[in-house]
């Protein structure tokens, strides 16, 4: 998962002009500002459909790295949290977005934060939003992608008041195993390179990657992550979103999460697989692992439509928010 962070950092330095952003549907914006027990500030916002008196809302949690409320990357061409806000507001669903530590209006040091620290930051925004007029407190959901998907599962297991979670690019295997797969995908054997030399080059890159992850507490926490134990603890409605071209979190991760949840007694699990979609939830041609080669950085509309359908379905099936 570190690889997406590095890709975003490189793209932010490029000179490619950002794509024009479409305006969000008519909405009401409520700023959020909360001080964590450790003293840092988490800033964000609640976006509510214009004119709505009580709306289901979704907290958006980004993947690896220090991200803004838009989760902006690739020189502004990739703004998944804005795309989600646009699609969900149009369906009458509110959105909670926040700046991670030392980003935007938030303070604190992301580099020294553990995984628990970061998910507690997300929960702080969730709890602040509960009291905002127009938020339906019985139907507050969490959407998380990649590392954010892990946080969503953990929060659903640890906290009360979560109506359901939607997870995308959610890992089942440990960070060590995923890093090995990603390093191999990014370092194919070169023409004329011996098998032994290729193996040595991959192992060197892997060792450097693991060393970096060990230097960041939140990444280090993922190295020995156990997807089976995490999934088994979730007993709330779940939508698992998978891109068929996701090379960072490969199949059968979603299937394993689903079967683990179901075998642990959770019957409210749905899984949706989208052909031609990658880890970023954008169109991803078969075999493309260099995100700079992508032509369209907007979220695939099939994904946002399925997410909105699921939120409205769960909300309608449980008016009181109990499951």
Contacts of 118 (CB under 8 A, 6+ apart): 100, 101, 110, 151, 218
Predicted pLDDT at 323 = 54
- The domain that holds 226 is classified in CATH as 3.40.50.1820
Predicted pLDDT at 144 = 98
Q: Is this model's pTM higher than 0.85 or not?
A: yes
Residue of higher predicted confidence among 133 and 15: 133
Predicted pLDDT at 6 = 42
User: Is the confidence at residue 7, as pLDDT, over 70?
Assistant: no
pLDDT band at 15 (very low <50, low <70, confident <90, very high): very low
pLDDT band at 42 (very low <50, low <70, confident <90, very high): very high
- pLDDT, one tens digit per residue, over 289-299 is 999 999 999 99
User: Is the confidence at residue 49, as pLDDT, over 60?
Assistant: yes
The interaxial angle of helices 175-186 and 195-214, nearest 10 deg, is: 130
22-26, 112-116, 132-136, range with the lowest pLDDT: 22-26
Residue 322 counted as domain residue? no
Residue 132 counted as domain residue? yes
- pLDDT, one tens digit per residue, over 194-246 is 999 999 999 999 999 999 999 999 999 999 999 999 999 999 999 999 999 99
- The rounded distance, in Å, linking the Cα atoms of 39 and 42 is 10
Predicted pLDDT at 318 = 82
Predicted pLDDT at 321 = 61
- Say how many domains are in the chain: 1
User: Is the confidence at residue 65, as pLDDT, over 90?
Assistant: no
User: Is the confidence at residue 26, as pLDDT, over 90?
Assistant: no
Residue 88 counted as domain residue? yes
Contacts of 216 (CB under 8 A, 6+ apart): 111
Predicted pLDDT at 21 = 56
Host domain of residue 124: 2-188+198-317
Question: Which uninterrupted H or E stretch holds 60?
Answer: strand 55-61
Q: Percentage of the chain surpassing pLDDT 70? A: 92
pLDDT band at 9 (very low <50, low <70, confident <90, very high): very low
Residue 98 counted as domain residue? yes
User: Is the confidence at residue 314, as pLDDT, over 60?
Assistant: yes
Residue with tokens 């929960």: 123
- The rounded distance, in Å, linking the Cα atoms of 313 and 319 is 10
Predicted pLDDT at 292 = 92
Predicted pLDDT at 19 = 41
């Amino acid at each position: 998962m570190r690889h997406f962070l590095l890709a975003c950092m490189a793209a932010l330095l490029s000179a490619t002009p950002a794509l024009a952003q479409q305006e969000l549907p008519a909405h009401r914006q409520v700023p959020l500002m909360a001080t964590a027990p450790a003293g840092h500030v988490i800033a964000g916002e609640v976006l509510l459909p214009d004119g709505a008196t009580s709306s289901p809302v979704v907290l958006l949690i980004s993947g690896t790295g220090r991200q803004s409320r838009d989760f902006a990357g690739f020189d502004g061409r990739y703004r998944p949290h804005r795309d989600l806000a646009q699609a969900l507001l149009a369906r009458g669903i509110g959105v909670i977005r926040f700046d991670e530590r030392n980003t935007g209006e938030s303070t604190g040091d992301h580099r020294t934060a553990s995984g628990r620290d970061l998910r507690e930051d997300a929960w702080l925004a969730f709890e602040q939003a509960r009291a905002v007029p127009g938020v339906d407190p019985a139907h507050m959901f969490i959407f998380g992608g990649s590392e954010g998907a892990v946080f969503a599962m953990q929060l659903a297991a640890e906290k009360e008041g979560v109506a359901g979670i939607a997870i995308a690019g959610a890992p089942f295997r440990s960070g060590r195993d995923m890093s090995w797969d990603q390093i191999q995908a990014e370092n194919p054997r070169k023409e004329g390179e011996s098998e032994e030399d290729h193996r040595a080059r991959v192992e060197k890159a892997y060792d450097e990657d693991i060393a970096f992850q060990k230097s960041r507490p939140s990444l280090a926490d993922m190295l020995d992550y156990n997807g089976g134990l995490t999934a088994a603890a979730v007993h709330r409605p779940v939508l698992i979103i998978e891109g068929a071209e996701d090379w960072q979190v490969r199949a059968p991760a979603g299937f394993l999460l689903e079967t683990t949840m179901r075998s642990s007694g959770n019957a409210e699990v749905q899984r949706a697989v989208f052909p031609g979609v990658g880890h970023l939830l954008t169109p991803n041609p078969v075999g493309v692992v260099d995100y700079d080669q992508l032509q369209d950085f907007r979220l695939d509309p099939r994904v946002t439509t399925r997410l909105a359908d699921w939120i409205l379905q769960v909300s309608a099936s449980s008016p009181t928010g109990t499951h």
